[in-house]
Amino acid sequence: MEQKWWHHSVVYQIYPRSFQDSNQDGIGDLRGIISRLDYLAYLGIDAIWLSPVYESPNDDNGYDISNYQAIMAEFGTMEEMEELIEEAKKRNIRIIMDLVVNHTSDEHPWFIEARKNKENPYRDYYIWRDPVNGKEPNRLRSIFSGSAWQLDEKTGQYFLHLYSKRQPDLNWKNKQVRQEIYQMMNFWIDKGIGGFRMDVIDMIGKEPDKEITSNGPKL
C-alpha cells in the first residue's frame, strides 16, 4: 500500500475553547494557538487536528455549523486562521480541520431557506417526510435521545436530525448539496490546510426510510 503522510504522522488534537486564551476573556482562541506553535513543534508533532472553529450557535460545541466559510468570532478572525495555517507550515506542521457534513446548524442559511416553504430551492438540501398517521414518519432515534424527526409546524412536514433537533441532516442524494460541500472543502484546501478530519462521515449514506443510519449502501 502506498504510504501517505498521515499514515506515520503524530497528530495533536486541539480543542480551541480550552487550549490557550490570548486576551483573557476566558475563551481559548486562534491567537492563543499561534502563541504555542513553537512548543508544539518542540514536541515533534506533524499535524494539528483542530476541533471546529467555524461560525456556530454552539448547540453542540461547534459541530453545528452555521457558516462553513467563516470563523466563530470568539475564536478570532479569518486573517488569524490564515496566519495559523502559515505559521504552522513554517514549522512543518499541517492543520487538519474537523469538518461535519452530515448535518448543519438550523441557523445555516440553507436551512433557513429550506423551511420557508415546500417549493423553496433549498428544501431538498435536507431530508423531509410527511407525518404517518399524524406522527413521526418512522421509529428512527436521535443519537442524542428521542425521535430523529422534528415537526416543522409551518410546513407540516418532519425533518431528519440524527443528532440534536438543531442539527438537521443534509440530503447527500442531492447533487447540488454535494457540489456545495466540495466547493467549500476546496475553499479551505486553497488556504493551505493539510486536510480534514471528517466527523460522523459514515452517516452520509443513510437510508432513513429503511431505518439505516450509518454505513449505508451508497456510502
**What CATH number has the domain spanning 5-104+172-203?**
3.20.20.80
- pLDDT at residue 217 greater than cutoff 90: no
Share of the chain above pLDDT 90, in %: 95
**Do the Cβ atoms of 61 and 27 come closer than 8 Å?**
no
> In the structure grid, which three cell numbers stand for residue 20, read together?
490557550
- pLDDT of 219: 61
Share of the chain above pLDDT 70, in %: 99
Decide the pairing of beta strands 157-160 and 149-152: antiparallel
Q: Which of 145, 50, 63 lies closest to 108 in space, CA to CA?
A: 63
Q: What is the pLDDT of residues 51-82, one digit of tens each?
A: 999 999 999 999 999 999 999 999 999 999 99
Q: Using alpha carbons only, how large is the chain's radius of gyration in Å?
A: 19
pLDDT tier at 193, thresholds 50, 70, 90: very high
CB atoms closer than 10 angstroms to residue 192: 13
Q: What is the pLDDT of residues 74-120, one digit of tens each?
A: 999 999 999 999 999 999 999 999 999 999 999 999 999 999 999 99
